[in-house]
Structure 1
Amino acid sequence: MTTQLTGTPAKTLYGPAGWTRAIGAASLLLPGRIEATPSFARFDHLQADHARILLDRMPHAALADRQNEAPSVGHLLKAAIAHPDEIELAGYLIGPTRADERISLDMMAMRSPWSHFARTGDSEIDSFAKMPDFWLNLPYHCTRSQLWSRVVEYLDLGECGEPDEIEFFTPLTGTLGGWWMWWD
């Protein structure tokens, strides 16, 4: 009889087994979670501060990971860092017990910075003056492809495909919302 041994693989998809644990991915992506780095866990609300840490700590090969035709993890993290009032990311963490250990990003929420400016107490005129041209020059009626083309250029997302879903959302405050984009 042959005994099957299971455990942590020596090398995973993007580096040595345990790299997600070594960089503290679970504490960044799953705050408040008691268990160690899980086998699989979804996360959301990834913003600029944690994106910067991940960009600095992740193996180079892992930054090239793409969820289907999504922009690479590296491009999405850089977009969140460059546009902290506009971009929030979500995805999933695959822990070190699996050979496909990784951090994948499959969702991006792109919020209008108008709501941020409104909270600062600026006048409407001052808020418009601070608004990026992307938001001011967006056609009122544009196709999904036109919108995505402008988003890719504005956020410098590199080579990527359109999201499987693009949904418009409005915040409760009644100001301009943004888009929720997801790659299946």
Structure 2
Amino acid sequence: MGMRSKLKRIVTATMVGMLFFLQLPLFQNDVVQAATEITPLKYYKDKNYRYLVGMMYYEMWGSTDGQGGELVWTDGGRQPNKGMRGDAKFTYKFQFPNRTIKNVEARIYNYPGDPVEYFEESRSDTYEEYQKAISSGTSDSDIRSFQKQGIGTDTTTIPITVNMLLDAPRPKNVKQEQ
């Protein structure tokens, strides 16, 4: 047996869907722009509200220790499905040209309580693709307070931090997707 053994790396992610409510004055304009390509470019429109669902995730990296083959987890030993928590952070920025944002709210997207249309009409993927990787115990109270920015303008920046439970029916192995 050689002195060096191959490292096996595992990267899993537990996800949470964020539902954003943006209240805009009522008139016909279906244009929304995003500051980054990660931010959803579509939305579900209901009266003078726009519902956008953004996905946040917390990555957990593990690799064999090179000795006995035991899996070692980084970031304080955080690992999936052990009742641990981690802060997922992302800053969303939405622009509604020629509109004025009246209010911004954010909460956890919960299906089936929230319509699947909110998810699927505000994203290019389906809820089913993420369903098993979504945190099974993160709630609205896990969202850290954020300053509402852009009220009265056409652009809002939403810095979100969620102290999410890292448990999910089947966390996504993001290493397999690369």
The two structures have a TM-score, normalised by structure 1, of 0.31
Whose strand proportion is higher, 1 or 2? 2
